[in-house]
Structure 1
């Protein structure tokens, strides 16, 4: 069912070295969202950033930092996000979780990809 109209976006800011029960935390969040039937989730890795402790994390020329910033964005209806927030509270021990109201104007599957 397409998601259009009023919705919410949850952005979870964490580090790439964060884990949940031995799995990368971003992967664990996306897998949990999928299991719950959440409309969509995407992980983006940053090349540089800092958080509360003001320590800069950045990709290095000859390799990647051990703890690059990651952002998990999750979009669904407000009632579905409300059920997800306590789960995220349990999973995210350090990081930032932000909820924003938004309006989805188009949600269509790509015609060459199966549902």
Structure 2
């Protein structure tokens, strides 16, 4: 698979407890991205954060939260990201989605 040098970064901010049809939302998003043959997706777990409710989510021992912030990043061509967005809109009840242009310097290895 090849990604154009000028691509897009889709960044999705959700909570660890967010669900889609009974499964973790982050899992549903990553599996759908894979099914749609996007170049890749990565889920990052945040140690601390807050969103539109201003409720603090933290991994500190004294304020243990089971709903830590998650960020999912997906990089691919503008066309493939655009095709993915309607599906994302259908399964997300809340969260923040951003999109930005990125320059891809390397993807994979020569042997792939």
Into which bin does the TM-score normalised by the smaller protein fall? over 0.9
Q: Which whole-Å CA distance do the structure 2 matches of 1:108 and 1:37 have between them? A: 15
Q: Which whole-Å CA distance do the structure 2 matches of 1:73 and 1:63 have between them? A: 27
Q: Which whole-Å CA distance do the structure 2 matches of 1:2 and 1:85 have between them? A: 20
Structure 1's consecutive aligned runs of 4 or more residues displaced over 3 angstroms after TM superposition are: none
Q: 1:63 to 1:50 in 2, by over 3 A?
A: closer
User: For the aligned residues, what is the CA RMSD?
Assistant: 1.8
Listed as ranges, the gaps of 5+ residues in structure 1 are none
Listed as ranges, the gaps of 5+ residues in structure 2 are none
TM-score of the two chains, using structure 1 as the length reference: 0.90
Corresponding position of 2:46: 46
Question: How many pairs were matched up?
Answer: 112
How far residue 63 of structure 1 moved from its aligned partner, in angstroms, is: 8.5
Corresponding position of 2:87: 87
Contact 1:11 1:97 in 2 (8 A): yes
